[in-house]
Homo-oligomer: A and B are copies of this chain.
Amino acid sequence: MSLSVQKKKILIVVMDGLGDRGCKELGGLTPLQATDTPNLDWFTRNGIAGTCDTVDIGIRPGSDTSHLSILGYDPLEVYTGRGPFEAAGIGLIGRYGDVAFRCNFSTCDSDLNITDRRAGRINKPDTTELIKALEGMRIDGIEAVIKEGTEHRAALILRGAGLSPDVTDVDSHDLGPLSWSKGETPEAKFTAEVLNKFVNETYKRLKDHPVNKKRAANGLLPANIIVPRGAGSFPNIQPFPEKYNMKAACVAGVGMIKGICGVCGLDVIDLPEDCTGGSDSNFVSKAKAALKVLEKYDFVLMNVKAPDVAGHDSDPMLKCGVIKRLDEMAGYLKDNFREDLVIVFTADHSTPCSLGDHSGDPVPITVYTPGNVKDDAVTFSESGCAHGRIGRIRGKYIVPMCMDLADRTEKYGA
Protein backbone atom coordinates (compact mmCIF):
# COMPACT_ATOMS: atom_id res chain seq x y z
CA MET A 1 0.00 0.00 0.00
CA SER A 2 1.38 3.38 -0.96
CA LEU A 3 0.05 6.17 1.23
CA SER A 4 -0.98 9.46 -0.28
CA VAL A 5 1.87 11.53 1.05
CA GLN A 6 2.18 15.31 0.88
CA LYS A 7 5.16 16.47 -1.16
CA LYS A 8 7.62 18.48 0.92
CA LYS A 9 9.51 21.66 0.11
CA ILE A 10 13.31 21.92 0.03
CA LEU A 11 15.62 24.59 1.46
CA ILE A 12 19.37 24.35 0.82
CA VAL A 13 21.39 26.67 3.02
CA VAL A 14 24.79 27.17 1.40
CA MET A 15 27.26 28.63 3.88
CA ASP A 16 29.82 29.86 1.37
CA GLY A 17 33.43 28.74 1.95
CA LEU A 18 32.49 27.29 5.36
CA GLY A 19 34.88 24.28 5.33
CA ASP A 20 38.39 24.82 6.62
CA ARG A 21 41.61 23.12 7.69
CA GLY A 22 43.26 23.03 11.11
CA CYS A 23 44.13 26.57 12.27
CA LYS A 24 47.20 27.24 14.40
CA GLU A 25 45.29 30.05 16.12
CA LEU A 26 42.62 27.53 17.18
CA GLY A 27 44.99 24.87 18.51
CA GLY A 28 44.82 22.88 15.28
CA LEU A 29 41.02 22.86 15.09
CA THR A 30 38.93 24.21 12.24
CA PRO A 31 36.69 27.22 12.98
CA LEU A 32 33.67 24.88 12.84
CA GLN A 33 35.33 22.42 15.25
CA ALA A 34 36.31 25.27 17.57
CA THR A 35 32.91 27.00 17.70
CA ASP A 36 29.94 25.85 19.76
CA THR A 37 27.03 25.40 17.33
CA PRO A 38 24.10 23.98 19.32
CA ASN A 39 21.52 24.65 16.61
CA LEU A 40 23.47 23.25 13.67
CA ASP A 41 24.29 20.30 15.96
CA TRP A 42 20.57 19.86 16.67
CA PHE A 43 19.91 19.43 12.95
CA THR A 44 22.85 17.02 12.68
CA ARG A 45 21.75 15.00 15.73
CA ASN A 46 18.20 14.72 14.46
CA GLY A 47 19.02 14.30 10.80
CA ILE A 48 21.55 12.61 8.56
CA ALA A 49 25.06 13.83 7.89
CA GLY A 50 28.05 13.30 5.67
CA THR A 51 30.80 15.01 3.73
CA CYS A 52 30.50 16.41 0.22
CA ASP A 53 32.88 17.02 -2.66
CA THR A 54 30.80 19.57 -4.51
CA VAL A 55 32.48 18.88 -7.87
CA ASP A 56 34.67 15.81 -7.25
CA ILE A 57 37.37 14.53 -4.91
CA GLY A 58 40.43 16.77 -5.02
CA ILE A 59 38.84 19.43 -7.22
CA ARG A 60 38.99 23.03 -5.91
CA PRO A 61 35.64 24.45 -6.90
CA GLY A 62 34.89 28.03 -7.77
CA SER A 63 31.57 29.45 -6.55
CA ASP A 64 30.13 28.95 -10.02
CA THR A 65 31.08 25.29 -10.56
CA SER A 66 30.12 24.39 -6.99
CA HIS A 67 26.69 26.03 -7.12
CA LEU A 68 25.98 24.34 -10.45
CA SER A 69 26.75 21.03 -8.71
CA ILE A 70 24.59 21.86 -5.71
CA LEU A 71 21.74 22.61 -8.11
CA GLY A 72 22.17 19.13 -9.58
CA TYR A 73 24.16 19.94 -12.71
CA ASP A 74 27.55 18.38 -13.47
CA PRO A 75 29.86 21.31 -14.25
CA LEU A 76 32.18 18.92 -16.07
CA GLU A 77 29.32 18.61 -18.57
CA VAL A 78 27.74 22.08 -18.65
CA TYR A 79 30.26 24.68 -17.45
CA THR A 80 31.41 27.16 -20.12
CA GLY A 81 33.20 29.76 -17.97
CA ARG A 82 32.30 32.59 -15.58
CA GLY A 83 31.35 35.21 -18.18
CA PRO A 84 27.68 34.27 -18.62
CA PHE A 85 27.14 34.06 -14.84
CA GLU A 86 28.61 37.51 -14.30
CA ALA A 87 26.35 38.92 -16.99
CA ALA A 88 23.42 37.11 -15.38
CA GLY A 89 24.52 38.41 -11.98
CA ILE A 90 23.67 41.93 -13.02
CA GLY A 91 20.38 40.73 -14.46
CA LEU A 92 21.39 40.06 -18.04
CA ILE A 93 20.25 36.45 -18.29
CA GLY A 94 20.92 35.03 -21.72
CA ARG A 95 19.81 31.90 -23.51
CA TYR A 96 21.78 28.92 -24.78
CA GLY A 97 23.83 30.16 -27.74
CA ASP A 98 24.06 33.78 -26.60
CA VAL A 99 27.62 35.03 -26.15
CA ALA A 100 28.33 37.12 -23.05
CA PHE A 101 31.14 39.62 -22.45
CA ARG A 102 32.35 41.55 -19.45
CA CYS A 103 32.87 45.21 -20.37
CA ASN A 104 34.41 48.39 -19.05
CA PHE A 105 33.29 51.95 -19.56
CA SER A 106 36.64 53.40 -20.68
CA THR A 107 38.13 56.68 -21.87
CA CYS A 108 39.76 56.94 -25.32
CA ASP A 109 41.11 59.63 -27.62
CA SER A 110 39.77 60.31 -31.13
CA ASP A 111 42.00 57.52 -32.55
CA LEU A 112 40.39 55.11 -30.09
CA ASN A 113 43.56 54.81 -28.01
CA ILE A 114 42.58 53.98 -24.43
CA THR A 115 43.73 56.66 -21.97
CA ASP A 116 41.88 55.30 -18.89
CA ARG A 117 40.52 51.75 -18.70
CA ARG A 118 37.90 52.66 -16.05
CA ALA A 119 36.87 56.16 -17.20
CA GLY A 120 38.05 57.65 -13.91
CA ARG A 121 36.16 54.93 -12.02
CA ILE A 122 32.86 56.29 -13.27
CA ASN A 123 29.78 55.28 -11.29
CA LYS A 124 26.03 55.64 -11.15
CA PRO A 125 24.06 57.79 -12.02
CA ASP A 126 26.33 58.67 -14.98
CA THR A 127 26.56 55.06 -16.21
CA THR A 128 22.78 54.68 -15.97
CA GLU A 129 22.30 57.65 -18.30
CA LEU A 130 25.04 56.59 -20.72
CA ILE A 131 23.81 53.00 -21.01
CA LYS A 132 20.44 54.25 -22.26
CA ALA A 133 22.19 55.61 -25.36
CA LEU A 134 23.39 52.09 -26.18
CA GLU A 135 20.06 50.29 -25.98
CA GLY A 136 18.34 48.57 -28.87
CA MET A 137 21.46 48.07 -30.99
CA ARG A 138 21.29 45.61 -33.91
CA ILE A 139 24.40 44.82 -35.99
CA ASP A 140 24.33 42.55 -39.07
CA GLY A 141 21.21 40.85 -37.72
CA ILE A 142 22.67 40.35 -34.24
CA GLU A 143 21.04 41.88 -31.18
CA ALA A 144 23.44 43.60 -28.75
CA VAL A 145 22.05 43.87 -25.22
CA ILE A 146 24.07 45.83 -22.67
CA LYS A 147 23.51 46.44 -18.97
CA GLU A 148 25.48 48.41 -16.40
CA GLY A 149 27.12 46.70 -13.43
CA THR A 150 28.84 48.27 -10.45
CA GLU A 151 31.15 51.28 -11.00
CA HIS A 152 32.79 51.16 -14.46
CA ARG A 153 31.57 47.63 -15.19
CA ALA A 154 28.94 46.45 -17.64
CA ALA A 155 27.89 43.25 -19.36
CA LEU A 156 27.08 42.65 -23.01
CA ILE A 157 25.18 39.86 -24.70
CA LEU A 158 25.27 39.21 -28.44
CA ARG A 159 22.21 37.24 -29.54
CA GLY A 160 21.41 35.73 -32.92
CA ALA A 161 22.31 32.94 -35.33
CA GLY A 162 25.87 31.85 -36.10
CA LEU A 163 27.76 33.27 -33.10
CA SER A 164 30.83 31.77 -31.41
CA PRO A 165 32.55 32.52 -28.07
CA ASP A 166 35.99 31.74 -29.56
CA VAL A 167 36.94 35.37 -30.11
CA THR A 168 39.77 37.42 -28.64
CA ASP A 169 39.26 40.39 -26.29
CA VAL A 170 38.89 43.92 -27.66
CA ASP A 171 40.30 44.93 -24.27
CA SER A 172 44.12 44.98 -24.52
CA HIS A 173 44.20 45.10 -20.71
CA ASP A 174 46.52 48.07 -21.11
CA LEU A 175 46.52 51.71 -22.24
CA GLY A 176 46.97 52.54 -25.92
CA PRO A 177 45.41 50.96 -29.01
CA LEU A 178 42.53 48.48 -28.73
CA SER A 179 43.31 44.87 -29.71
CA TRP A 180 40.44 44.46 -32.16
CA SER A 181 38.70 41.10 -31.77
CA LYS A 182 39.66 38.19 -34.00
CA GLY A 183 38.36 34.67 -34.59
CA GLU A 184 39.51 31.60 -36.53
CA THR A 185 36.33 29.82 -37.58
CA PRO A 186 33.72 31.47 -39.86
CA GLU A 187 31.37 31.86 -36.83
CA ALA A 188 34.15 33.37 -34.71
CA LYS A 189 35.21 35.73 -37.52
CA PHE A 190 31.60 36.92 -37.85
CA THR A 191 31.25 37.35 -34.08
CA ALA A 192 34.51 39.33 -33.88
CA GLU A 193 33.32 41.58 -36.71
CA VAL A 194 29.99 42.25 -34.98
CA LEU A 195 31.81 42.90 -31.69
CA ASN A 196 34.24 45.37 -33.29
CA LYS A 197 31.36 47.19 -34.99
CA PHE A 198 29.60 47.35 -31.63
CA VAL A 199 32.65 48.97 -30.00
CA ASN A 200 32.92 51.55 -32.79
CA GLU A 201 29.23 52.32 -32.47
CA THR A 202 29.53 52.87 -28.69
CA TYR A 203 32.19 55.51 -29.35
CA LYS A 204 29.94 57.24 -31.90
CA ARG A 205 27.01 57.30 -29.49
CA LEU A 206 28.97 58.26 -26.35
CA LYS A 207 31.64 60.73 -27.47
CA ASP A 208 29.32 63.75 -27.54
CA HIS A 209 26.82 62.52 -24.97
CA PRO A 210 25.63 65.28 -22.61
CA VAL A 211 26.78 63.26 -19.57
CA ASN A 212 30.32 63.17 -20.95
CA LYS A 213 30.24 66.88 -21.80
CA LYS A 214 29.18 67.60 -18.23
CA ARG A 215 31.94 65.31 -16.86
CA ALA A 216 34.54 67.12 -19.00
CA ALA A 217 33.27 70.47 -17.73
CA ASN A 218 33.75 69.17 -14.17
CA GLY A 219 37.29 67.94 -14.92
CA LEU A 220 36.21 64.25 -14.97
CA LEU A 221 37.23 61.73 -17.62
CA PRO A 222 34.54 60.95 -20.20
CA ALA A 223 33.26 57.36 -20.54
CA ASN A 224 33.24 57.46 -24.32
CA ILE A 225 33.74 53.83 -25.30
CA ILE A 226 32.71 50.34 -24.15
CA VAL A 227 35.52 47.76 -24.18
CA PRO A 228 34.54 44.03 -24.02
CA ARG A 229 36.57 41.03 -22.86
CA GLY A 230 36.08 37.43 -21.62
CA ALA A 231 33.68 35.99 -24.20
CA GLY A 232 31.63 33.05 -22.95
CA SER A 233 28.65 31.09 -24.25
CA PHE A 234 25.57 30.65 -22.17
CA PRO A 235 25.57 26.99 -21.19
CA ASN A 236 23.05 24.44 -22.38
CA ILE A 237 21.18 23.96 -19.11
CA GLN A 238 17.78 22.40 -18.72
CA PRO A 239 15.92 24.87 -16.51
CA PHE A 240 15.80 23.69 -12.90
CA PRO A 241 12.00 24.05 -12.55
CA GLU A 242 11.56 21.84 -15.63
CA LYS A 243 14.25 19.33 -14.65
CA TYR A 244 12.92 18.81 -11.13
CA ASN A 245 9.32 19.93 -11.55
CA MET A 246 9.63 22.42 -8.70
CA LYS A 247 8.96 26.14 -8.51
CA ALA A 248 12.40 27.36 -7.49
CA ALA A 249 13.98 30.55 -6.21
CA CYS A 250 17.27 31.78 -4.85
CA VAL A 251 17.94 34.08 -1.92
CA ALA A 252 21.46 35.46 -2.29
CA GLY A 253 23.32 38.73 -2.05
CA VAL A 254 26.29 38.08 -4.31
CA GLY A 255 25.96 38.87 -8.00
CA MET A 256 27.60 35.73 -9.35
CA ILE A 257 25.44 33.42 -7.20
CA LYS A 258 22.33 35.25 -8.39
CA GLY A 259 23.68 34.90 -11.93
CA ILE A 260 24.19 31.15 -11.65
CA CYS A 261 20.74 30.63 -10.18
CA GLY A 262 19.22 32.90 -12.82
CA VAL A 263 20.88 30.98 -15.66
CA CYS A 264 19.57 27.74 -14.12
CA GLY A 265 16.05 29.18 -14.25
CA LEU A 266 15.51 29.97 -10.57
CA ASP A 267 13.70 33.18 -9.69
CA VAL A 268 16.13 35.59 -8.07
CA ILE A 269 14.45 37.20 -5.07
CA ASP A 270 15.23 40.72 -3.90
CA LEU A 271 16.60 40.77 -0.38
CA PRO A 272 15.94 42.98 2.63
CA GLU A 273 18.47 45.82 2.83
CA ASP A 274 20.26 44.38 5.87
CA CYS A 275 21.28 41.32 3.81
CA THR A 276 24.42 42.81 2.35
CA GLY A 277 26.22 39.71 1.15
CA GLY A 278 29.16 40.72 3.37
CA SER A 279 30.34 39.88 6.88
CA ASP A 280 27.91 42.43 8.34
CA SER A 281 24.90 40.78 6.69
CA ASN A 282 21.90 39.98 8.90
CA PHE A 283 21.66 36.20 8.54
CA VAL A 284 18.44 35.88 10.53
CA SER A 285 16.83 38.43 8.26
CA LYS A 286 17.93 36.37 5.25
CA ALA A 287 16.57 33.16 6.81
CA LYS A 288 13.28 34.94 7.47
CA ALA A 289 13.21 36.02 3.82
CA ALA A 290 13.93 32.43 2.71
CA LEU A 291 11.05 31.06 4.80
CA LYS A 292 8.76 33.71 3.33
CA VAL A 293 9.80 32.77 -0.21
CA LEU A 294 9.11 29.10 0.64
CA GLU A 295 5.45 29.97 1.12
CA LYS A 296 5.18 30.41 -2.64
CA TYR A 297 8.01 28.16 -3.88
CA ASP A 298 8.88 24.45 -3.66
CA PHE A 299 12.63 24.92 -3.62
CA VAL A 300 14.88 27.66 -2.29
CA LEU A 301 18.65 27.94 -2.46
CA MET A 302 19.94 30.40 0.12
CA ASN A 303 23.56 31.56 0.01
CA VAL A 304 25.36 33.24 2.89
CA LYS A 305 28.67 34.67 1.72
CA ALA A 306 30.25 35.72 5.03
CA PRO A 307 32.28 32.59 5.98
CA ASP A 308 34.00 32.70 2.57
CA VAL A 309 34.96 36.32 3.14
CA ALA A 310 36.51 35.42 6.52
CA GLY A 311 38.43 32.55 4.89
CA HIS A 312 39.73 34.77 2.09
CA ASP A 313 40.77 37.24 4.79
CA SER A 314 42.68 34.42 6.56
CA ASP A 315 40.92 35.38 9.79
CA PRO A 316 39.98 32.31 11.90
CA MET A 317 38.57 34.42 14.75
CA LEU A 318 36.32 36.33 12.34
CA LYS A 319 35.23 33.00 10.83
CA CYS A 320 34.36 31.65 14.31
CA GLY A 321 32.28 34.77 14.93
CA VAL A 322 30.50 34.34 11.61
CA ILE A 323 29.83 30.69 12.46
CA LYS A 324 28.36 31.71 15.81
CA ARG A 325 25.93 33.98 13.95
CA LEU A 326 25.22 31.28 11.36
CA ASP A 327 24.25 29.04 14.26
CA GLU A 328 21.83 31.70 15.50
CA MET A 329 20.38 31.71 11.99
CA ALA A 330 20.04 27.91 12.22
CA GLY A 331 18.31 28.48 15.57
CA TYR A 332 15.81 30.78 13.90
CA LEU A 333 15.16 28.14 11.23
CA LYS A 334 14.71 25.49 13.96
CA ASP A 335 12.31 27.63 15.98
CA ASN A 336 10.31 28.55 12.89
CA PHE A 337 10.54 25.18 11.20
CA ARG A 338 7.80 24.25 8.78
CA GLU A 339 6.94 20.56 9.13
CA ASP A 340 6.76 20.07 5.37
CA LEU A 341 10.39 21.06 4.83
CA VAL A 342 13.57 19.18 3.93
CA ILE A 343 16.43 21.42 5.03
CA VAL A 344 20.08 21.10 4.03
CA PHE A 345 23.02 22.83 5.69
CA THR A 346 26.23 22.65 3.68
CA ALA A 347 28.90 24.71 1.93
CA ASP A 348 29.88 25.21 -1.69
CA HIS A 349 33.58 24.64 -0.90
CA SER A 350 36.18 25.06 1.81
CA THR A 351 38.05 28.35 2.12
CA PRO A 352 40.79 27.50 4.64
CA CYS A 353 42.10 30.49 6.56
CA SER A 354 45.62 29.08 6.21
CA LEU A 355 45.23 29.24 2.42
CA GLY A 356 43.16 32.41 1.97
CA ASP A 357 41.52 30.76 -1.01
CA HIS A 358 39.29 27.84 -1.97
CA SER A 359 40.48 24.29 -1.41
CA GLY A 360 39.21 20.87 -2.45
CA ASP A 361 38.65 19.66 1.13
CA PRO A 362 35.19 18.10 1.32
CA VAL A 363 32.53 20.11 3.18
CA PRO A 364 30.14 18.97 5.91
CA ILE A 365 26.52 18.35 5.01
CA THR A 366 23.47 17.77 7.21
CA VAL A 367 19.97 17.04 5.98
CA TYR A 368 16.95 17.14 8.25
CA THR A 369 13.26 16.59 7.82
CA PRO A 370 10.73 15.38 10.37
CA GLY A 371 10.43 11.61 10.27
CA ASN A 372 13.76 10.93 8.59
CA VAL A 373 16.39 8.45 9.77
CA LYS A 374 18.55 9.60 12.66
CA ASP A 375 22.16 8.52 12.24
CA ASP A 376 25.06 8.64 14.72
CA ALA A 377 26.52 12.02 13.72
CA VAL A 378 26.00 14.54 16.51
CA THR A 379 28.08 17.60 15.66
CA PHE A 380 28.10 19.75 12.56
CA SER A 381 31.77 19.96 11.53
CA GLU A 382 34.26 18.65 8.98
CA SER A 383 34.95 15.66 11.25
CA GLY A 384 31.59 15.29 13.05
CA CYS A 385 29.52 14.93 9.89
CA ALA A 386 31.81 12.12 8.70
CA HIS A 387 30.06 9.83 11.21
CA GLY A 388 26.76 10.12 9.39
CA ARG A 389 25.07 7.84 6.93
CA ILE A 390 25.21 10.18 3.96
CA GLY A 391 28.84 9.09 3.65
CA ARG A 392 30.99 10.99 1.17
CA ILE A 393 28.96 12.23 -1.79
CA ARG A 394 29.31 14.54 -4.77
CA GLY A 395 27.39 17.80 -4.80
CA LYS A 396 25.28 16.84 -7.80
CA TYR A 397 23.54 14.19 -5.68
CA ILE A 398 22.20 16.67 -3.09
CA VAL A 399 19.07 17.64 -5.02
CA PRO A 400 18.17 14.06 -6.06
CA MET A 401 18.63 12.94 -2.43
CA CYS A 402 16.40 15.76 -1.19
CA MET A 403 13.84 15.13 -3.92
CA ASP A 404 13.43 11.61 -2.58
CA LEU A 405 13.20 12.76 1.06
CA ALA A 406 10.63 15.31 -0.10
CA ASP A 407 8.63 12.49 -1.75
CA ARG A 408 8.91 14.13 -5.15
CA THR A 409 10.65 11.24 -6.88
CA GLU A 410 8.99 8.73 -9.18
CA LYS A 411 9.73 5.04 -8.76
CA TYR A 412 12.32 3.73 -11.23
CA GLY A 413 11.08 0.31 -12.27
CA ALA A 414 8.21 -1.71 -10.87
Give the interface of A toward B (CB within 8 A).
1-3, 5, 20-24, 28-30, 33, 51, 55-66, 75, 79, 82, 85, 256, 312-314, 354-362, 371-376, 382-393, 397, 399-405, 407, 409-414
- Kindly state the separation between the CA atoms of A389 and B314 in the bound complex, as whole angstroms: 24
Q: A2-B357, A382-B373, A392-B391 are in contact. Are A413 and B312 (CB under 8 A)?
A: no
Question: By the criterion CB–CB under 8 Å, are A372 and B75 in contact?
Answer: no
What are 21 A-B contacts with C-beta separation under 8 Å?
A: A1-B314, A3-B354, A3-B357, A22-B373, A51-B389, A57-B397, A58-B400, A58-B401, A58-B402, A60-B411, A60-B412, A61-B412, A63-B414, A64-B413, A79-B413, A82-B413, A359-B404, A361-B373, A375-B386, A391-B391, A392-B392
How many identical subunits does the complex contain? 2
Among A51, A58, A66, A79, find the residue whose CB has the most chain B CB atoms closer than 10 A. A58
Q: Which of B20, B58, B400 contacts A403 (CB 8 A)?
A: B58
Q: A57-B393, A312-B2, A413-B61 are in contact. Are A22 and B372 (CB under 8 A)?
A: yes
Question: By the criterion CB–CB under 8 Å, are B55 and A412 in contact?
Answer: yes
Question: By the criterion CB–CB under 8 Å, are A404 and B1 in contact?
Answer: no
Provide the residues of chain B in CB contact with A413, threshold 8 Å: 61-66, 75, 79, 82
- Other 6 A-B pairs with CB < 8 A, given A21-B373, A59-B412, A383-B389: A1-B313, A2-B312, A57-B393, A355-B407, A361-B373, A376-B387
Provide the residues of chain B in CB contact with A384, threshold 8 Å: 376
Among A3, A23, A384, A402, find the residue whose CB has the most chain B CB atoms closer than 10 A. A3
Q: Which applies to chain A's interface (DSSP): helix, strand, loop or mixed?
A: loop
- Kindly state the separation between the CA atoms of A387 and B23 in the bound complex, as whole angstroms: 22
Question: By the criterion CB–CB under 8 Å, are A412 and B65 in contact?
Answer: yes
Closest to A411 in B: B60
Q: Which of B56, B85, B391 contacts A386 (CB 8 A)?
A: B391
Among A61, A399, A402, find the residue whose CB has the most chain B CB atoms closer than 10 A. A61
Provide the residues of chain B in CB contact with A65, threshold 8 Å: 412-413
Q: Which of B59, B373, B399, B409 contacts A30 (CB 8 A)?
A: B373
Provide the residues of chain B in CB contact with A56, threshold 8 Å: 400
Closest CB in chain B relative to A402 CB, distance in Å: 8
Question: By the criterion CB–CB under 8 Å, are B1 and A312 in contact?
Answer: yes
Question: By the criterion CB–CB under 8 Å, are B411 and A358 in contact?
Answer: yes
Closest CB in chain B relative to A135 CB, distance in Å: 28
Provide the residues of chain B in CB contact with A55, threshold 8 Å: 412
Closest CB in chain B relative to A84 CB, distance in Å: 11
Provide the residues of chain B in CB contact with A357, threshold 8 Å: 2-3, 411
Among A23, A382, A384, find the residue whose CB has the most chain B CB atoms closer than 10 A. A382
Closest CB in chain B relative to A348 CB, distance in Å: 10
Closest CB in chain B relative to A63 CB, distance in Å: 7
Provide the residues of chain B in CB contact with A60, threshold 8 Å: 404, 409-412
Provide the residues of chain B in CB contact with A64, threshold 8 Å: 413-414
- Kindly state the separation between the CA atoms of A144 and B199 in the bound complex, as whole angstroms: 63
- Kindly state the separation between the CA atoms of A402 and B376 in the bound complex, as whole angstroms: 27
Closest CB in chain B relative to A66 CB, distance in Å: 7
Closest to A3 in B: B356
Closest to A379 in B: B376
Provide the residues of chain B in CB contact with A20, threshold 8 Å: 373
Provide the residues of chain B in CB contact with A24, threshold 8 Å: 371
Provide the residues of chain B in CB contact with A360, threshold 8 Å: 400-401, 404, 409
Provide the residues of chain B in CB contact with A388, threshold 8 Å: 386
